[in-house]
Amino acid sequence: MSAPRRISAVAAVAGLAILAAGCSSKSSTPAASTTTGGGAATSAAAPTTGGAASSGGSASASAGGGGGAVPPAISAAGGTELLNTAKPAGVEAQYGPICKGSDLGIPKIDLKTATIGWAQSEKEANPFRIQSTKSQVTEAQKRGIKLITTNAQSNVQQENTDIKGMIDKGAKAIIFSPINSTGLGDAISYAKSKHVAMIPVDRNITGVKACQAVGPQLGSDFVLQGKRAADAMIAATKGQANLLILLGATGVNVTDDRTKGFLDELAAKHADGIKIVAKQTADFTREKGQSVTETEIKAHPEINAIYAENDEEGLGALVALTDAGKNGIAKTHIVSIDGTKGAVQGIIDGNFDAVIESNPAYGPAAEDALNAYVNGDGYPAVTITIDEGYLTKDQASKGISSGTAY
């Protein structure tokens, strides 16, 4: 099975040629660290996509394309200006300022001899997290990088401890997926005091000055993902539905942005026939997706559509619907976000209407950003990747067969 798409290796930023390469990976125990190493360093090319519908020009508009606008979500992560220079393949938009490790007293790093840390935020029961870690580990092996990994198991204090522990073990840089956008101040301050590079991926660190608290941030446009999910829901229901929204985890910019994008798009499209009957947190887990759906369809039997803010919640909801005899899009519509094989297969099976992708394979891009940040001319404060969408059975079939669906 082919790997999911990755961000490619060469970018021109603010008139400077920036050479980069990528990375990805994770571990399963919260406190213990594991080590990987590998062969010669290589530059990752961007594989072709496998059947998903591209987000296209609408992503550029949302990401602030063309006019120099900075969306609130990007501004919160420290982006101050849209960079209209050439972007790496797989990148939708990049925002300045340009971060340079030397500005924080971070020395150059020999990536062939230094130890790098990867801090995963959540257990790998979730396919997104499995692929996220796999990407980091695989890229480190390709480049011959010594990578130590941790997994915080959804505990913010554990992630703070994990990051500080890897620094104490000699890690010169930390690539990390934040549990939430504001809870890692302890680890970030510790890294800054030790002149260790910090590269957040997936979820952004918000409310900080760009390039002064952390290095370059890499993530998706989660607001746009919510908007595209709303468009898919409107198309599936013809604008008439009694809707249950399964929210993601609280305190996470992904949840806030996917909710905002979805609700704003319903309002913008005047989809008044879609009535929000209930809106409950399901914590991005299959178990809570199932239990919340069980409760809500009993309390509100009129529910005939579900927006799940990740695939795991949607797959849990499907179990509850099946047990209640309400599965299948003829009875209950489901639109979710991530792009995992289980949910994409659900389109083929007639249980999901659409799945909006959120690409987890940040390994190559993170290594590229780290290299440019500490050893090159710098890297943009915020990079937004291109995500795809599975809107038809044909797209879903191609996504499964090509391996784009993970």
Contact 62, 30 (CB under 8 A): no
At residue 338, the pLDDT reads 97
At residue 125, the pLDDT reads 83
Tell me the pLDDT band of 52, cut-offs 50, 70 and 90: low
Q: Are strands 171-176 and 146-151 parallel, antiparallel or unpaired?
A: unpaired
Burial (CB count <10 Å: 0-12, 13-18, 19+), residue 307? buried
Alpha helices in 253-310 (DSSP H): 253-268, 286-299
At residue 53, the pLDDT reads 56
How open is the CA angle 104-110-116, to the nearest 5 degrees? 75
What's the CA gap between 271 and 231, in Å, rounded?
10
At residue 117, the pLDDT reads 98
Measured between its terminal Cα atoms, the distance across the chain in Å is 9
pLDDT tens for each residue of 182-210 = 899 999 999 999 999 999 999 889 888 88
Tell me the pLDDT band of 79, cut-offs 50, 70 and 90: very high
**Ordered strands of the 379-385 beta sheet:** 34-36, 146-151, 115-120, 171-176, 197-202, 217-219, 379-385, 91-99, 81-82
Contact 365, 6 (CB under 8 A): yes
Please state the pTM of the whole predicted model: 0.81
pLDDT surpassing 90 at residue 43: no
Q: Which two tokens stand for residue 320?
A: 């509850």
Tell me the pLDDT band of 26, cut-offs 50, 70 and 90: very low
Chain-wide mean pLDDT for the chain? 86
pLDDT tens for each residue of 213-237 = 999 999 999 999 999 999 999 999 9
Higher pLDDT, 89 or 396: 396
Domains along the chain with CATH numbers: 10-220+359-388 (3.40.50.2300), 222-357 (3.40.50.2300)
